[in-house]
Structure 1
Amino acid sequence: MAGPPCCPPKVPRLWPPLALPLLLASVLPGAAEPLEAEGSSPSKPLPLLRLDPGWGRLEQTLDLPAWVDLDLEVLAEPMGNPAGGLVRQASWIQQTTLALTLRVPGEPAHPAGREWDRWAMRVAIASFNGDPLYAQRLGAVLPLQEVANPVGLWLTRASLQRRSADGRWSLEAGLVSMSPDLFSTPIEDLYVHDALNGAPVLFAIPNFPVFPVAAPGALLVLRPTPASTLRLASFDLAATNAVAGLLGTASGLPPARGWTHQLQWSFAAPWLNRHLAAPIAACRDGAGLRIRQKTCAQPEQVERQLPGGLLQLAAYAGTGPNRGLYGSATAPVALPWGLDHRLWTAAAAGFDSAANPAPSYIGGGLVSQGVLPGRPFDLLILGVARTGFSPITRPGLSHEGVVELGYQVQFNRSFNLQPSLQWVLNPGGAGRVPGVFAAGLQLSFRY
């Protein structure tokens, strides 16, 4: 998710986009029901096809103790636009993130653990290299690349976390961020364009603590039921610029003041996820794997790669004033191709356009697993979004839209490649820049 960039106008209605996936989810089944092979015993376990685990974890390679979690992620996004925009150019931007978590797991004989077992310290640093201004040179407002942030080192997290013994609540305080817990839905992480990788209506606000921006603050997470999660957060916006410069990076953030307070309710509705607890029931034939709709001679099961069904409602308020609402829905649907599918939509509205350069957003898409024969874990990704610009901070601009088509090749849990095509509509929002057609490749490495 790109941080500081800018901007969107007229506010679309917030709730109608949520009706589509809910309607489809109520009409279409989430997955085919498991069926037994012809002549097989009902109790015979079916083969389970899993994604290769990859190259393990960094702490395992370094033989670190069990209470140390160390993660390294490299995300590179080369891109070029063969047509449209103010210029024809190619660009490269790369993000490298190192995250350290220190915790002590509870003893197996005592699931609740001791008091100090429930504390954790988290530190994360991100480095950006390449060209973060590619979109601006093309004439677009929103970045075409998820990782387009100012070059340099960023301290993205430095916090202390306390969790309850039963897992019903946790509190994290220190230098924290909205990402990835607030105002975004998990399936958006699969997209490359900034407008589809989260709602710009929030993330265009320059001093909001969106990755890699962090701020002094706290995040309280409550889980009143297994399906419900309530998040409450407060951030000191006046300190974002100072935090961004701790490691010498020129963030470009303007001075800010005051706090922002945020509330988000997430509901993994059981009626949306009733078919998703089990692996995908599939049948192997000459063309590869397909969903079993009838008795199958070679039944198998395939591990799911997509997040489950989820409903979200959120609100924020802060100094300015700066207020707004956000909502999203992700629903499983049944389609005649592939193995598993999710339809999603999100919408947001900012009520104070003097403080928010992007006060309206609507987006959505479809992600399908196992569309091509012989590639059961690959993902086909389609998304569309429209972001409106503020008539106060962006006078004369209307909106900018994008259509993204991608295909994620999953080699294993550590490495994947994702070629993508983007069509940016009305870049710049003024109707003076030709639509941009861009092609890119996202390389993701996690260790």
Structure 2
Amino acid sequence: MGALLASSGSAVHADTGGSIEHTPSTLFTLQSALNLPDWMQLQVAISAQPLFNPVGGLVPTGTWVQQTSVELELNSGLARDVAQWKELDHWALNLNGNHTTGNFSYANEIGAIFPLQSASYPTAFWLTETTLERQAGNGRVNVKGGILPVNPDFMEAPILNFYVHSSLNNTLNIESNDFPINPYSAVGGVVNLQIQNDLNLRAGLFDLNTTFSSFPLSSFQGFQANVGGAGNGTLQMVQLDYTGSGLAPSTGTPIRACSQNRALVRSYPRCTAPTTVANQLPGGLLSIGAYNSTDPQTGDGIYGSLTLKTRLPIGLADRVWVGASYSPNTNVDFAPVFVGGGLVVQGLVPKRPLDVVVFGIGRGGLSNPAQPNFTSSYEGMAELGYMVMLSETVQLQPTLQWIFNPSGTNQPVPGILAAGLQISLNF
């Protein structure tokens, strides 16, 4: 069918099996525009998150936050098949820088504890990663070290990246002091051991004395020391990941669908017009981890998450997830307990096979010893969103959030309804 563009922003063409394959189109990449060599890989991602609260909170107001991330990998192995790698091809230099801007205090202004936007960080330039890595290739051990954050190697489940609220997005709402969570980082190293094809054990060591202080670029945009400061001692992390196909198909596995009256529905045995759709959802994951620190202000804790497919007859494919984290250090950790879960569905609208609907709900337990001015023992959050997949380059995601028991002030605050839009650009 040539290069016909579908209504979902996808390129539609015949696959080798004679069916129609729906894949997202790419409008522009810096890699091709700059004609970079094969051993250099450059990616730029921009996420803007305007948000306002028409109902509830201390004051009805709005804000805008934005994060720009630049990633560069230098590796001669990028140009060769892994089976043909020589020793030099295993080695890579990874660089990552972030620029954040906007009002990162929005949650406090409306009476909430947890930021309603995942990009709510102090306005600054952050040198988030500078690492030398020996990639496993066809081996079983991957090692990297330098300046780096704890995530995405630890705590992060890919399914969480669909959410806008900070408690549902990224790191299971772990709020321990001095934690080098992206865009913050620290000097450290990570070792990953592939026990089996679908089972990985990862261990990391981070120097908390260098957290927030390893990047002079941050001072260029007025980063203030009282927002965060270096800790003391070291942080040790360990995590076990299971990614068996029985949990859910991998992202690279196309979704089987059936074409009916110019719309797509879930595949069924007697379908007369089978087709496939590019899978936007992550694979299955069971992740369990723990951390321990010699810094009494950081402490220790455990966390875990589970992502798997369901048999719900909605959309073309789906993932359900649950996650939790716990820290016994209630005297220093103001949010020692978190539980959450959600549902992510691709192709809920029959003529938009690449769009994704997200729903999530979470509860962050609060510690009175750490923060005596809390008005309740927890703050909850629910999020409903719809990601419009215009292309691999551009995605728009309207979001609607409800905050239960806002507790960021010493006076009772009614629930908060917030609405906004996440604009994602990937080059």
TM-score by length of 2: 0.90
Matches within 5 A, 1:240-255: 240-248=211-219, 249-251=222-224, 252-255=227-230
1:208 aligns with 2:188: no
CA distance in 1, matches of 2:417, 2:62: 12
Question: CA deviation digits over 1:363-393, x for unaligned, max 9?
Answer: 0000000001210000010000000112221
**Residues 128-139 of structure 1: pairs in structure 2 closer than 5 A:** 128-139=100-111
- Between the aligned partners of 1:277 and 1:59, the Cα distance in structure 2 is 21
Q: 1:28-427 alignment to 2 at 5 Å? A: 45-105=17-77, 108=80, 111-199=83-171, 201-202=173-174, 204-248=175-219, 249-251=222-224, 252-273=227-248, 278-286=253-261, 288-321=263-296, 322-397=299-374, 398-427=377-406
TM-score calculated relative to the size of structure 1: 0.86
Q: Measured at CA, do residues 246 and 236 of structure 1 come closer, stay the same or move farther in structure 2, by a change above 3 Å?
A: farther
Query: Greater share of strand residues, 1 or 2?
Result: 2
**Letter matched to residue 365 of structure 1:** G
Q: Distance in 2 between matches of 1:86 and 1:376?
A: 40
* Residue of structure 2 equivalent to 1:437: 417
Per-residue deviation at 1:181?
2.0
**Measured at CA, do residues 265 and 48 of structure 1 come closer, stay the same or move farther in structure 2, by a change above 3 Å?**
farther
The verdict on how the C-alpha distance between 1:74 and 1:352 changes in structure 2, with shifts beyond 3 A counting, is same
Higher mean alpha-carbon deviation, 264-273 vs 399-408, is at: 264-273
**1:27 match:** none
Gaps of 5+ in 2: 1-14
How many angstroms apart in 1 are the aligned matches of 2:354 and 2:120?
A: 28
CA distance in structure 1 between the partners assigned to 2:325 and 2:156 by the alignment:
11
Partner of 1:5: none
Cα deviation code 1:78-97 (max 9, x no counterpart): 01111000000111111111
The 1:384–1:50 alpha-carbon spacing in structure 2 relative to 1, beyond 3 Å, is: same
1:243-272 CA-partner distances (Å, limit 9, x unpaired): 244441515213421111000101012322
Aligned to 1:91, the other structure's residue is in SS state strand
Question: Structure 1, residues 174-221: CA drift from partner, whole Å, max 9, x if none?
Answer: 00111222112110000000110034552x123111011010000111
Q: Which moved more, 1:182-191 or 1:349-358?
A: 349-358
Amino acid at match of 1:195: S
Q: Deviations over 1:7-47 (max 9, x none)?
A: xxxxxxxxxxxxxxxxxxxxxxxxxxxxxxxxxxxx98142
Q: 1:107 to 1:52 in 2, by over 3 A?
A: closer
- Alpha-carbon distance change, 110 to 195 in structure 1, aligned in 2, over 3 angstroms: closer
Q: Do the aligned partners of 1:106 and 1:114 also contact (CA within 8 Å) in 2?
A: no
Q: How many Å separate the matches in 2 of 1:301 and 1:110?
A: 28
> Cα offset for 1:323?
1.3
Structure 1 gaps, min length 5: 1-42
Higher relative contact order (CA closer than 8 Å, sequence separation 6+): 1
> After superposition, what is the alpha-carbon deviation per residue over 1:383-436, rounded to whole angstroms, capped at 9, x for unaligned?
000001122211253111000000000011111000010000111266701111
In structure 2, do the counterparts of structure 1 residues 419 and 110 end up closer, same or farther at CA, with 3 Å as the change threshold? closer
**Secondary structure in structure 2 of the residue aligned to 1:150:** coil
The change in CA–CA distance for 1:433 and 1:56 in structure 2 (over 3 A counts) is same
Take 1:197 and 1:55, find their aligned partners in 2: how far apart are those partners? 27
* Shift in CA distance, 271/58, structure 1 to aligned 2, threshold 3 Å: same
Q: CA RMSD in A?
A: 2.1
Is the 1:75–1:444 contact (alpha carbons within 8 Å) kept by the matching residues of 2?
yes
The CA deviation string for residues 308-335 of structure 1, in whole angstroms up to 9 with x for no partner, is 1110110000124411111110110122
> Would the alpha carbon gap of residues 247 and 225 (structure 1) be closer, same or farther in structure 2, given more than 3 Å must change?
same
Mapped partners of 1:143, 1:279: distance in 2? 35
| Identical counterparts, % of pairs | 35
Question: What is aligned with 1:26?
Answer: none
- The Cα shift of 1:279 comes to 2.4
Matched residues, number: 404
1:275 is displaced (CA, Å) by 9.2
Say if 2:82 and 2:137, in contact at 8 Å, map to a contact too.
no
Q: For the structure 1 residues 107 and 446, does the alpha-carbon distance in structure 2 shift closer, same or farther, using more than 3 Å as the test?
A: closer
Question: Which residue identity is paired with 1:393?
Answer: A
Q: What is the alpha-carbon distance in structure 2 between the residues aligned to residue 293 and residue 278 of structure 1? A: 18
Q: Which amino acid aligns with 2:145?
A: A
Higher mean C-alpha deviation, range 295-304 or range 383-392: 295-304
1:116 partner letter: L
